[in-house]
Amino acid sequence: MAPKLLITRKLPPDVLARAARTYDVEYNTDDSLWDNAQLAARAVGKDALLATVTDRLGAEAIERLPQSVRIIASFSVGTDHIDVEAARLRGIAVTNTPDVLTDATAEIALLLILGAARGAAAGMASIREGTWANWAPTGMLGISLTGKRLGILGMGRIGRATARRARAFSMEIHYHNRRRVEADEGATWHESFDGLLRVSDILSVHCASTPETRKLIDARALALLPRGAIVVNTARGDIIDDDALIAALQIGQVAAAGLDVFNNEPNIDPRYRTQANAFLLPHLGSATLETRNAMGFRALDNLDDFFAGREPRDRVG
């Protein structure tokens, strides 16, 4: 008998086709978001869930899952939407999808760096709104990347891929990680977070969201950046204190921000919308068909391993 799999969101056709070859699949036909009660009801009789970052699988949601569920394969590298410990206590395995979205996310980090540094949001608005009067020698001046210091907070896979790409823009790379990284792309390690902040003309956030990193980028941290720095985030919105960042953008302590992730997505802090020096994207880090296929296949690889009695390669809990 094929294991029964609940897929909580609409996934790319090739991923669904592969899932259907191995599993007895129930799909989310209208791609709506399910609350805990709906998820628990859909999961009745299922052996596995293939879930995404929009499934808020906290302790209560995990608690409500039926006994039949033995594994949650997340279609994401981040697992902050899952209470992995609560799952462990229920005997539910958890996997994620690292590696396959590294390059796509690093590409978005570079897009944010460029977009923020060159005032792309304000420039595009002037075209769309018809307010672009003429080319002006002193108009819409951005910040050059050449020779600037890029501070990478979290030198994991995506941090390193971002560093490699930033080198092509002749940037000087610095990073902070708990430990020095061996393959650090020749970047300068800062043992302390504050040390990194002090040299970061552009700060790019790549650490995981954990209780320790929540609101790590607060008013104190932003004040340590060189005046007129740029802040970029492709990791998780909750690493940034929105009140502090918006205040810093308003007074020019931070010249511009490039954000792909937000607190309370998609209901972001409305003040960002009117902040001309904020270049904003709607969580597009992994949003290419190639990458979303690869994420789906990786999640299915993990399920295949699990149901074949092997240890899934991306087991996180």
Q: Catalytic amino acids?
A: 236, 265, 283
Task: Considering the complex, state which of residue 98 and residue 119 has its C-beta at the smaller distance from ligand DGY.
Answer: 98
Query: In the window 28-67, what residues touch ligand DGY (CB under 6 A)?
Result: 53
Considering only CA atoms, which of 79, 41, 80, 81 is closest in space to residue 57?
A: 81
CB of 76 to ligand DGY, least distance (A): 3
| Interacting positions 102-131 with ligand DGY (CB under 6 A) | none
Are 252 and 228 in contact, with CB atoms under 8 Å apart? yes
* Residue 285 in the binding site for ligand DGY (CB under 6 A): yes
Dihedral, 287, 289, 292, 293 alpha carbons, nearest 10: -170
Q: Taking CB under 6 A as the rule, does residue 154 contact ligand DGY?
A: no
Cβ closest to ligand DGY, residue 54 vs residue 126: 54
Which residues have C-beta within 8 Å of that of residue 125, sequence separation ≥ 6?
131, 276
Number of residues that bind ligand DGY (CB under 6 A): 7
- Token output for 70: 């033995």
- Toward ligand DGY, which CB reaches closer, 33 or 44? 33
Burial of residue 1, with CB atoms counted within 10 A of its CB: 0-12 exposed, 13-18 middle, 19 or more buried: exposed
Structure tokens at 112: 């944010």
For residues 60-74, one letter each, b for 16 or more C-beta atoms within 10 angstroms of the residue's C-beta and e for the rest, the string is: ebbeebeeebbbbbb
Residue 147: strand, helix, or coil:
coil
Q: Is 86 a binder of ligand DGY (CB under 6 A)?
A: no
Which of 6, 71, 87, 101 contacts ligand DGY by CB under 6 A?
101
* Binding-residue pattern over the window 64 to 83 for ligand DGY, x denoting contact by CB under 6 A: ------------xxx-----
| Rounded least distance, CB 104 to ligand DGY, Å | 8
CB of 303 to ligand DGY, least distance (A): 17
Q: Which is nearer to ligand DGY, 53 or 231 (CB)?
A: 53
Taking the least distance from each CB to ligand DGY, the nearer of 201 and 260 is: 260
- Which spans of this chain sit near ligand DGY (rule: CB under 6 A)? 53, 76-78, 101, 285-286
